[in-house]
Chain A
Amino acid sequence: MSRERKIIVNALTRVEGEGALHIRLDGDEIDDVRLSIYEPPRFFEALLRGRSIEEVPDITARICGICPVAYQMSSVHALESALNITVTPEIRALRRLLYCGEWIESHALHVFLLSAPDFFGCASGIELTKQFPQQINDGLRVRKVGNALLEILGGRAIHPVNVRVGGFHRMPSREELTPLLSELEWALAAAIELADWVAGFSFPTFDATCELIAMHHPDEYSMNQGQIASTQFPTFDVDKYEQHFSEDQVAHSTALQSTRRGQTSSYLLGPLARVALNRDQLSPQAFALAKKICPVSVTQNRFASILARMIEVVSCLEESIATIQSYETANQAFVPYVVQSGFGCAATEAPRGLLYHHYEISDDGRVAGAKIVPPTSQNQRQIEFDLRGYLPQLIRESDQTIANECEKLIRTYDPCISCSSHFLTVHVVRN
Chain B
Amino acid sequence: MSHLPSTEKKRLGVFKFASCDGCQLSLLSCEDELLALAEKVEIAHFLEASSATLPGPFDLALVEGSISTSEDIERIREIRHQSRSLVTIGACATSGGIQSLRNWADHDEYLRYVYPHPDYIDSLATSTAISDHVTVEFELRGCPVDKYQLLEVVMAFIHGRRPRIPSHSVCLECKRRGTICIAVTEGKPCLGPITQAGCGAICPAYHRACYGCFGPCAQANPPSLSEHYLADGTTPLQMIHQLRNVNAASRLFQIESNRIEAKPAAARAHE
Contacts and interface: CB of A to CB of B under 8 A. Distances in A.
A169 B53 contact: no
Contacts of B24: 65
Interface in A148-162: 155-159, 161-162
A424 B35 CA distance: 36
A155 B203 contact: yes
B68 interface: yes
Interface stretch (B3-11, B95-103, B164-172, B250-258): B95-103
Interface range for B: 35 or more
Contact of B110 (A15, A46, A55, A422): A46
Contacts of B111: 41, 43
Interface in A101-123: 109, 113, 117, 123
B230 interface: no
A235 interface: no
A418 B98 CA distance: 14
Contacts of A65: 19-25, 144
B114 A421 contact: yes
B80 interface: no
Contact of B31 (A47, A51, A141, A424): A141
Contacts of B98: 42, 44, 47, 59, 62
Nearest to A162: B206
A46 B20 contact: no
A139 B206 CA distance: 30
A425 B25 contact: no
B202 A161 contact: yes
Given A156-B199, A161-B206, A424-B120, A45 B52 contact: no
Interface string A405-419: 001000000000010
A11 B17 contact: no
Contacts of A170: 205-208
A199 interface: no
Contact of A47 (B101, B116, B120): B101
B245 A155 contact: no
A13 B143 CA distance: 23
B18 interface: yes
Contacts of B117: 249, 424
B69 A40 contact: yes
A16 interface: yes
Interface string B63-97: 00000110010000000000000000000000001
B110 A158 contact: no
A43 B16 contact: no
B241 A55 contact: yes
A147 B206 CA distance: 17
B221 interface: no
A298 interface: no
A55 B245 contact: yes
Interface stretch (A124-132, A281-289, A315-323): A124-132
A15 B99 CA distance: 21
B144 A158 contact: yes
Nearest to A10: B53
Interface string A245-260: 0000100000010000
Interface string A27-54: 0000000000001111111110101100
A426 interface: yes
A421 B121 CA distance: 12
A113 B28 contact: yes
A255 B24 CA distance: 25
A342 interface: no
B231 interface: no
Given A333-B207, A418-B20, 18 more contacts: A11-B53, A14-B47, A40-B17, A46-B110, A47-B101, A63-B20, A65-B20, A65-B23, A66-B25, A109-B25, A113-B49, A124-B50, A124-B52, A125-B49, A126-B34, A126-B50, A155-B206, A162-B208
Interface of B: 16-26, 28-29, 31, 34-35, 38, 43, 47-53, 68-69, 72, 97-99, 101-102, 105, 109-111, 113-117, 120-123, 127, 143-144, 199, 202-203, 205-208, 211, 213, 238, 241, 245-246
29 contacts: A13-B51, A17-B21, A39-B18, A40-B17, A40-B18, A41-B111, A42-B98, A45-B113, A46-B102, A46-B113, A52-B238, A52-B241, A62-B98, A64-B21, A66-B21, A117-B51, A124-B51, A140-B34, A141-B31, A143-B31, A147-B29, A155-B202, A155-B206, A158-B22, A159-B22, A159-B144, A162-B206, A170-B205, A418-B21
